[in-house]
């Protein structure tokens, strides 16, 4: 038996209380294209970041060519023969293809006085390119190149070191068209033939069927199984079945009864923001939770910020309680009655060194102060304690800096801030990132409680969440709204709508 | 756990500060008994008024996490404006008003450039500061202005006494009291703190962060004029570098106070200013040349900044827990 190119044994990684990676065993053979599948948070990104030296593993062994390696930074990984191309490759936009490929390597042989010898760069670049069945003019600058050309430049840059044996590609096809994808696949096939192993993250099963020799499925920080495309054909498995597994149904509260639905509170028509999303229309009633599912870059983050006034509306209209609103800033949105629980609570939601009272009252200082702006200190403290109890803040201390709370409890403080702001529409973005499962259930319960008196929108890159918490949901795929016809999406349909742009594959 | 707070930090820190004042006072008195004389204490309070006023406005700028290096130049410009007006025989209060207005314009320009146009604070304020400092020369081609100073009444601001102390000291205390209420008991103060600590979350909470950043620069320019008026009153003349001496004591006061009391606040700045003024006064009483005492104050400023830096304090606490593993600090977040 030959030695595999890469072998991981019982690799684990924790972030605080979250088990991002749990006892992962994984084998990458020499000269194979191996795909990694899994929903967001499944652990595949953490896994490749450990392989490429961005994160350091907590436990386990990683072997390359049978020798154990210990990478503490990306340089170590490259020395061990592992090169990585990120999802959005970092190329220098106003350098040419040649210059980018050999960036940081120009003076490998020459002394620093001789500068960059362009003719040598050109010869070596052409030499490298000639090994592959693709045609690119490397003398053009990166900013004039198409998405696939940039991807290829990034790959050439990664393998320019001759000793690279393993290439990691993080969602290389997410921005490519069908034709461009074929070019990339040709390049991958040539690399495979030359003995380089490729580890390749994707969301699309049909690509796996086309290009991969084997694939592994990640779910909840574990490697669930490794299979070949042939096995999928034989057993007629669907991608959703592979990626989702069991539901976490128990975490989510009961859905609303039709009788609980109140009046129309938000009516959004044909909303557009630049080229990030367009023609988004939906209605929201009091008493219901609307789910929005979309991958990173699908436009959900921008959609939430347009509704909240932090980004401009380029087209379309928003009606709140029957009156047209177009908030120019979060201050105006808050005044109109919209509250955003932002995706990155540490950056966008909280003043970490300040107390809970400070944070809870911040979004509605008018309510927190009386004549001439004097803060109603005892009333604010009382209200904060009341809301802290309602969101079951633990520890129930409203005067200590919020940096001392866990992720889940920090999120509860942002919800308490929303309660104090007293809005008609609450928008949650990625509400449970970095929140452990117990606090998660509590947060979902809080959303349901908020929905009793107001409208709630939950936007998430986690399909289970967007589907499980909501009464109905739609997906955003590359800025295009995908809605169900005449009924609500099933979980699998929502997943397909979000990652393929089409619900009918489910 | 870092303890910057909207409230002045705990009693322990206040006691430590009091002890420091006591030790410093005792040390100076031991070397030079005149340190405790009525005359010297009166001088300390007067100088503290000028230093404290300049530091007060700077406190707001530091709270919104910016730097203003222009207020000394702005103060020079305002000093010459006021001097020119006094020489022209105008009413004293009108002269001061015009000086304040001139500084407010410079402060507003700083604020606009930095908060609305996103220019870097340090570079911008160095530039506006030197422009303002240059404009100060225009009134008299750089010559000292002293005409009408005796008759204008400005000297009374220095000489007037209340309970044996300079009126300016009571003005300082009164202004600090107002500032304390404003910064720590009203929604506006909360907004200043929110703007500084996390402008993104403040913006998402509906706080007009740009307005608050701009206001901090305007207030900083205005209080530096208050300070320079006291300097004019003391010397009885206006010349083009009257405000230049304000820069270092103000920064030292703000950052030393923050280091002592665990966060930038109105009270911390007052405490820092008291210490700095005692030091400067003690040195001049001992006959230490100003270039040495400036060096000492600057060294103290540097120490204050280092102590105020959360990373440095983290380093110290790491070191402490390394030396004494038994008391290992609470689990650090990843």
List, for residues B141-158, the tens digit of each pLDDT value: 888 888 888 888 888 888
% of residues, chain A, pLDDT over 70: 92
Residue B299 belongs to some domain of the structure: yes
Contact between chains at A404 and B188 (C-beta distance less than 8 A): no
Q: Quick count: other Cβ atoms within 10 Å of Cβ A309? A: 25
- Using alpha carbons only, how large is chain A's radius of gyration in Å? 25
Q: What is the pLDDT of residue A435?
A: 73
Boundaries of domain holding B174: 11-324
Q: What is the pLDDT of residue A119?
A: 79
DSSP A174: T
Residue B121 belongs to some domain of the structure: yes
Contact between chains at A375 and B185 (C-beta distance less than 8 A): yes
* Span of A67-71, A178-182, B46-50 with lowest mean pLDDT: A178-182
Q: Model confidence at B326, in pLDDT bands (50, 70, 90)?
A: very low
- Of B53, B170, B162, give the one whose Cα is nearest residue B100: B53
Residue B298 belongs to some domain of the structure: yes
Q: What is the mean pLDDT of residues B190-213?
A: 94
Full-model pTM: 0.77
Taken in order of first residue, the domains within chain A and their CATH numbers are: 6-244 (3.40.50.300)
Q: What is the pLDDT of residue B151?
A: 83
Per-residue pLDDT tens over the stretch A190-231: 889 988 999 988 877 778 888 899 999 888 788 888 888 888
The CATH number assigned to the domain holding B306 equals: 1.10.3470
> What's the whole-number average pLDDT of chain B?
86
Q: What is the pLDDT of residue A147?
A: 80
Q: Model confidence at A491, in pLDDT bands (50, 70, 90)?
A: confident
Residues of B in contact with A342 (CB under 8 A): 201, 204
Q: Model confidence at B332, in pLDDT bands (50, 70, 90)?
A: very low
- Of A504, A487, A428, A499, give the one whose Cα is nearest residue A204: A499
Per-residue pLDDT at B334 exceeds 50: no
Contact between chains at A362 and B190 (C-beta distance less than 8 A): yes
Q: Quick count: other Cβ atoms within 10 Å of Cβ A112? A: 7
Q: Model confidence at A17, in pLDDT bands (50, 70, 90)?
A: low
Residue pair A100/A64 in contact (Cβ under 8 Å)? The answer is: no
**Is the confidence metric ipTM above 0.90 for this complex?**
no
Considering only alpha carbons, which residue of chain A is nearest residue B262?
A353
Residue A144 neighbours by CB under 8 Å, 6+ apart = none
Residue A188 neighbours by CB under 8 Å, 6+ apart = A33, A169, A198, A200, A211
Q: What is the pLDDT of residue B330?
A: 39
Residue B3 belongs to some domain of the structure: no
Residue B286 belongs to some domain of the structure: yes
Considering only alpha carbons, which residue of chain A is nearest residue B333?
A16
Q: Give the residue with greater pLDDT, A104 vs A14.
A: A14
Q: What is the pLDDT of residue B120?
A: 92
Q: What is the pLDDT of residue B309?
A: 67
Choose the mutation target among B185, B204, B309, B311 for the interface with A, i.e. most A CBs under 10 Å: B204
Asked if B193 reaches chain A (Cβ–Cβ under 8 Å), the answer is: yes
Partner-chain residue, chosen from B186, B202, B206, that has the shortest CB–CB distance to A369: B186
Per-residue pLDDT at B12 exceeds 80: no
Contact between chains at B193 and A351 (C-beta distance less than 8 A): yes
Contact between chains at B201 and A401 (C-beta distance less than 8 A): no
Q: What is the mean pLDDT of residues A410-424?
A: 93
Asked if B25 reaches chain A (Cβ–Cβ under 8 Å), the answer is: no
Contact between chains at B333 and A401 (C-beta distance less than 8 A): no
* Span of A76-90, A370-384, B269-283 with lowest mean pLDDT: A76-90
Contact between chains at A374 and B204 (C-beta distance less than 8 A): no
Asked if B331 reaches chain A (Cβ–Cβ under 8 Å), the answer is: no
Residue B198 neighbours by CB under 8 Å, 6+ apart = A347, A350, A351, A352
* Nearest CA-CA distance, residue A109 and chain B, Å: 40
Q: Model confidence at A239, in pLDDT bands (50, 70, 90)?
A: low
* Nearest CA-CA distance, residue A449 and chain B, Å: 22
Asked if B34 reaches chain A (Cβ–Cβ under 8 Å), the answer is: no
Residue B334 belongs to some domain of the structure: no
Q: What is the pLDDT of residue B323?
A: 60
Considering only alpha carbons, which residue of chain B is nearest residue A375?
B186
Contact between chains at B191 and A365 (C-beta distance less than 8 A): yes
A interface with B, Cβ–Cβ < 8 A, is 15-16, 308, 310, 329-331, 333-335, 340, 342, 347-355, 358, 361-366, 368-369, 372-375, 377, 401, 403-404, 417
Q: Give the residue with greater pLDDT, A468 vs B311.
A: A468
Pairing of β A197-201 and β A214-219: unpaired
Q: What is the distance between the terminal CA atoms of chain B, rounded to a whole angstrom?
A: 14
Choose the mutation target among A306, A353, A368, A371 for the interface with B, i.e. most B CBs under 10 Å: A353
% of residues, chain B, pLDDT over 70: 89
Q: Model confidence at B4, in pLDDT bands (50, 70, 90)?
A: very low
Q: What is the pLDDT of residue A138?
A: 86
Residue B147 belongs to some domain of the structure: yes
* Number of structural domains in chain B: 1
Q: What is the pLDDT of residue B179?
A: 96
Q: What is the pLDDT of residue A426?
A: 96
Q: What is the pLDDT of residue A246?
A: 54
Residue pair A363/A415 in contact (Cβ under 8 Å)? The answer is: no
Residue B333 belongs to some domain of the structure: no
Q: What is the pLDDT of residue B325?
A: 46
Per-residue pLDDT tens over the stretch A260-287: 788 999 999 999 998 889 999 999 999 9
Partner-chain residue, chosen from B4, B188, B194, that has the shortest CB–CB distance to A362: B194
Partner-chain residue, chosen from B186, B197, B204, that has the shortest CB–CB distance to A353: B197
Q: What is the pLDDT of residue B3?
A: 41
Q: Model confidence at B324, in pLDDT bands (50, 70, 90)?
A: low
Buried b (16+ CB within 10 A) or exposed e, B123-161: ebbbbbbebbbebbeebbeeeebebbbeebebbebbeee
Q: Report the alpha-carbon distance of residue A370 to residue B135 in Å, rounded.
A: 44
Pairing of β A455-460 and β A425-429: parallel
Q: What is the pLDDT of residue B333?
A: 37
Residues of A in contact with B333 (CB under 8 A): 16
Per-residue pLDDT at A501 exceeds 90: no
Per-residue pLDDT tens over the stretch B164-201: 788 889 999 999 999 999 999 999 999 999 999 999 99
Contact between chains at A331 and B207 (C-beta distance less than 8 A): yes
% of residues, chain A, pLDDT over 90: 32
Partner-chain residue, chosen from A331, A365, A401, that has the shortest CB–CB distance to B1: A401
Partner-chain residue, chosen from B188, B193, B194, that has the shortest CB–CB distance to A373: B188
Chains A & B: contacts with CB separation below 8 Å: 96
Q: What is the mean pLDDT of residues B50-71?
A: 94
Helix, strand, coil shares of chain A, percent, nearest 5, are: 40, 25, 40
Partner-chain residue, chosen from B4, B186, B204, that has the shortest CB–CB distance to A348: B204
Q: Model confidence at B137, in pLDDT bands (50, 70, 90)?
A: very high
Contact between chains at B206 and A352 (C-beta distance less than 8 A): no
Per-residue pLDDT tens over the stretch B236-273: 889 888 888 899 889 999 988 888 887 899 999 999 99
Asked if B9 reaches chain A (Cβ–Cβ under 8 Å), the answer is: no
Which of 201-260 (B) contact A at CB < 8 A? 201-208
Per-residue pLDDT tens over the stretch A106-158: 544 545 545 556 777 888 888 888 888 888 888 888 888 888 888 888 888 88
Considering only alpha carbons, which residue of chain A is nearest residue B1?
A404
* Nearest CA-CA distance, residue A165 and chain B, Å: 32
Any idea how long chain B is?
Answer: 334
């Amino acid at each position: 038996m030959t030695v595999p190119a890469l072998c991981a044994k019982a690799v684990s990684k924790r972030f605080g209380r979250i088990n991002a990676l749990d006892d992962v065993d994984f084998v990458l053979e020499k000269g194979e294209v191996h795909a990694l599948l899994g929903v967001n948070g499944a652990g595949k990104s953490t896994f490749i970041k450990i392989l490429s030296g961005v994160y350091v593993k907590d436990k386990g062994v990683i072997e390359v060519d049978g020798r154990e390696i210990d990478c503490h930074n990306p340089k170590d990984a490259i020395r061990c023969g592992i090169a990585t191309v990120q999802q959005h490759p970092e190329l220098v936009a106003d350098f040419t293809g040649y210059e980018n490929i050999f960036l940081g390597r120009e003076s490998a042989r020459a002394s620093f006085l001789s500068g960059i010898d362009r003719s040598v760069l050109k010869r070596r670049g052409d030499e490298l390119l000639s090994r592959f069945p693709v045609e690119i003019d490397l003398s053009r600058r990166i900013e004039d190149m198409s998405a696939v050309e940039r991807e290829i430049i990034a790959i050439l840059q990664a393998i320019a070191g001759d000793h690279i044996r393993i290439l990691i590609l993080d969602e290389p096809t997410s921005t490519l068209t069908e034709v461009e994808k074929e070019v990339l696949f040709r390049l991958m096939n040539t690399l495979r033939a030359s003995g380089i192993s490729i580890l390749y993250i994707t969301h699309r099963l049909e690509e796996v069927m086309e290009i991969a020799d084997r694939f592994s499925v990640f779910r909840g920080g574990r490697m669930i199984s490794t299979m070949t495309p042939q096995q999928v054909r034989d057993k007629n498995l669907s991608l959703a079945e592979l990626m989702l597994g069991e539901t976490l149904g128990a975490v989510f509260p009961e859905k609303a009864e039709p009788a609980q639905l109140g009046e129309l509170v938000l009516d959004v028509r044909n909303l557009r923001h630049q080229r990030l999303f367009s023609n988004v229309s939906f209605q929201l009633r009091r008493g219901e939770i609307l789910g929005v599912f979309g991958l990173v870059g699908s436009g959900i983050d921008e959609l939430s910020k347009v509704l909240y006034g932090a980004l401009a509306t380029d087209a379309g209209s928003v009606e709140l309680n029957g009156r047209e609103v177009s908030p120019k800033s979060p201050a105006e949105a808050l005044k109109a009655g919209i509250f955003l629980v932002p995706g990155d609570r540490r950056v966008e939601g909280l003043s970490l060194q300040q107390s809970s009272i400070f944070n809870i009252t911040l979004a509605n200082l008018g309510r927190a102060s009386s004549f001439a702006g004097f803060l109603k200190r005892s009333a604010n403290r009382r209200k904060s304690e009341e809301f802290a109890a309602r969101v079951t803040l633990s520890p129930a201390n409203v005067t200590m800096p919020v940096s001392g709370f866990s992720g889940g409890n920090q999120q509860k403080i942002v919800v308490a801030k929303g309660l104090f702001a007293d809005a008609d529409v609450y928008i949650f973005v990625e509400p449970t990132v970095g929140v452990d499962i117990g606090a998660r259930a509590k947060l979902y319960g809080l959303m349901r409680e908020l929905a009793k008196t107001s409208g709630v929108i939950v936007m998430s890159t986690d399909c289970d969440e967007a589907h499980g918490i909501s009464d109905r949901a739609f997906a955003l795929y590359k800025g295009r709204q995908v809605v169900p016809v005449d009924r609500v999406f099933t979980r699998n349909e929502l997943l397909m709508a979000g990652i393929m742009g089409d619900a009918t594959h489910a | 756990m870092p303890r910057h707070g909207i409230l002045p930090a705990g009693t322990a820190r206040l006691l430590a500060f009091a002890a420091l004042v006591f030790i410093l006072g005792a040390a100076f008195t031991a070397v030079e008994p005149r340190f405790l004389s009525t005359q010297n204490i009166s001088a300390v309070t007067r100088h503290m008024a000028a230093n404290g006023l300049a530091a007060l406005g700077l406190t707001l700028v530091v709270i919104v996490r910016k730097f203003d290096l222009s207020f000394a130049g702005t103060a020079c410009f305002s000093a010459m404006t006021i001097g020119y007006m006094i020489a022209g025989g105008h009413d004293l209060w009108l002269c001061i008003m015009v000086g304040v207005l001139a500084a407010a314009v410079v402060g507003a320009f700083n604020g606009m450039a930095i908060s609305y146009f996103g220019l870097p604070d340090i570079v911008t304020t160095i530039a506006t500061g030197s422009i303002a400092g240059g404009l100060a020369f225009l009134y008299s081609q750089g010559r000292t202005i002293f005409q009408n100073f005796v008759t204008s009444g400005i000297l009374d601001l220095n000489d007037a006494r209340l309970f044996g102390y300079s009126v300016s000291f009571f003005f300082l205390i009164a202004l600090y009291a107002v500032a304390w209420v404003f910064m720590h008991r009203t929604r506006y103060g909360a907004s200043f703190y929110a703007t500084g600590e996390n402008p993104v979350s403040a913006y998402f909470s509906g706080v007009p962060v740009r307005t608050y950043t701009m206001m901090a620069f305007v207030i900083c320019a205005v209080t530096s004029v208050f300070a320079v008026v006291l300097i004019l009153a003391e010397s009885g003349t206006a010349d083009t570098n009257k405000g230049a001496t304000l820069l270092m004591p103000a920064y030292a006061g703000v950052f030393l106070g923050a280091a002592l009391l665990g966060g930038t606040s109105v009270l911390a700045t007052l405490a820092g200013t008291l210490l700095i003024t005692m030091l400067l006064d003690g040195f001049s009483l001992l006959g230490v040349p100003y270039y040495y005492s400036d060096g000492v104050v600057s060294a103290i400023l540097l120490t204050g900044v280092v102590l105020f830096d959360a990373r440095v304090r983290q380093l110290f606490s790491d070191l402490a827990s390394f030396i004494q593993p038994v008391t290992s600090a609470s689990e650090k977040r990843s």
